[in-house]
């Protein structure tokens, strides 16, 4: 494994950040009545994935804390998947958009699980 110096260099962080910006853009078209509910929820959870990864990186001195924060990041990506499905159910996004985001967030989840499984390599 090639050593990285910052959470910003982690591919999972880069992907999470990219997805949160994509979600920000597509939620601009949500109805105004969703501004303080679905729009805020999906934006918050999508942004939190990257934030939790950054926090995990800062806590990698303690392997259990590192794993805990990565687990929180995984929870946030799963919550984002829920909100994506809710947006689809409300017909705010189409099936292609839903499938794209579900697939990408599932990829984030697999990457996080891989980091958890190899936490000792990150926490040396």
Residue 2 is predicted with a pLDDT of 60
Catalogue the long-range contacts made by 61-65 (C-beta closer than 8 Å, 24 or more residues apart).
Answer: 61/123, 62/123, 63/119, 63/120, 63/123
Q: Please give the Cα distance from 9 to 26 (Å, whole number).
A: 26
Report the predicted TM-score, pTM, of the whole model to 2 decimal places.
0.94
Q: Where are the domains of the chain?
A: 9-122
* Range 9-122: architecture per CATH: Up-down Bundle (1.20)
Residue 124 is predicted with a pLDDT of 76
Residue 4 is predicted with a pLDDT of 86
Is the model's pLDDT at 1 over the cut of 70?
A: no
């Amino acid at each position: 494994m090639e050593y990285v110096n910052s959470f910003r260099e982690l591919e999972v962080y880069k992907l999470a950040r990219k997805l949160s910006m994509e979600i920000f853009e597509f939620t601009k078209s949500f109805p105004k009545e969703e501004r303080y509910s679905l729009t805020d929820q999906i934006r918050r959870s999508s942004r939190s994935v990257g934030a939790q990864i950054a926090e995990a990186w800062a806590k990698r001195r303690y392997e259990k804390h590192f794993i805990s924060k990565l687990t929180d990041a995984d929870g946030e990506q799963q919550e984002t998947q829920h909100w994506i499905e809710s947006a689809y159910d409300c017909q705010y996004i189409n099936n292609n958009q839903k499938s794209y985001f579900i697939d990408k967030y599932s990829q984030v989840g697999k990457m996080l699980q891989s980091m958890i499984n190899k936490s000792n390599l990150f926490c040396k």
